[in-house]
Amino acid sequence: MVRQNRFKPRNEDTFFPLKNTFQTKGKLYCLEEPWVMGVINCTPDSFYKSSRVSGNNREVLEKAVQMAKQGARIIDIGGYSSRPNADYISEEEELNRVVSVIEIIRHELPEVLISVDTFRHQVAKEAVSAGADLVNDISGGELDGEMIETVGTLGVPYICMHMRGNPNTMQHLTEYEDIETEIMGYFSKKLEDCKKAGIKDVILDLGFGFAKTMEQNYRLVRSLDYFSTLPCLLLAGISRKSMVYKLLECSPEEALNGTTALNMALLMEGAQLLRVHDVKEAIETIKIYKQLYI
């Protein structure tokens, strides 16, 4: 089957994306090609050790600067690990981890967009005040009932991910009658909630690895273009996850090659943003994808 490409020029007889723009804080951005989001985890326990940084702002800034030079358009800052059985941290501790980091990156890298990876509305609010441009919520508002309404007041895009339960229970919630249909229903309801809250731009993340088995994850990769019927950008985050390293029988540290291969497949299926730990390799993947398909 020939896949439809969301980035081919209008003058070709092919599908063109209904949605390839977003606004944040009054500024419009257009994705004429896929973008890369670089991940910085201000946590001591994220699943991939090399993505962790200490509370040292200089170390965080150096990593952000490197990602920006390599081509990342968005830097994603998280202060609460979402890996299974991660330690609980208080809202105060999460704020301590992310707010000062966002402030220094905003000051030193004014042209780079910053997203805050949080499921707490108060963290989202203070992060945006500190300079964040997007809110990235793994729970789609399920873990904090005030999240969607709060984002609606902030004037920034909302990255809405599909997940069942929470990081400690999600691996036991993987039974679906029809996974594509159920996730589509979930997103349709979330888009209604976001519209009512005044959120103008929603970016969808299928939540690879969250309440899905390995087989379900790969099924969703193959059917990613099914979700392109929704008027939203599609973000894919599979970087060094267990769906890669368990299949290849290696560790997260050895999963870069598999991640790169899978990112190419996701681009071919319609992903417009890649959330990654390794920006240089993702940018190279996009260059090859563009040479072949755009």
* Both tokens assigned to 230: 């929704």
The counts of H helices and E strands in the chain are 9, 10
Amino acid in position 256? L
Per the annotation, the verdict on 275 as an active-site residue is yes
* Residues 71, 111 contacting (CB under 8 angstroms): no
What's the distance, CA 19 to chain centroid?
Answer: 17
Catalytic residue (one of 6, 97, 164, 241):
241
Q: Is 64 helix (H, G, I), strand (E, B) or coil?
A: helix
Supply the DSSP string of 100-154, one letter for each residue: HHHHHHHHH-TTSEEEEE-S-HHHHHHHHHHT--EEEETTTTSS-TTHHHHHHHH
Catalytic residue (one of 6, 19, 63, 275):
275
Per the annotation, the verdict on 212 as an active-site residue is no
Q: Give the span between the Cα atoms of 112 and 106, in whole angstroms.
A: 8
Q: Give every CB contact of residue 180 below 8 A, 6+ residues apart in sequence.
A: 219, 220, 223, 226, 227
Q: Which residues are marked as active site?
A: 241, 275
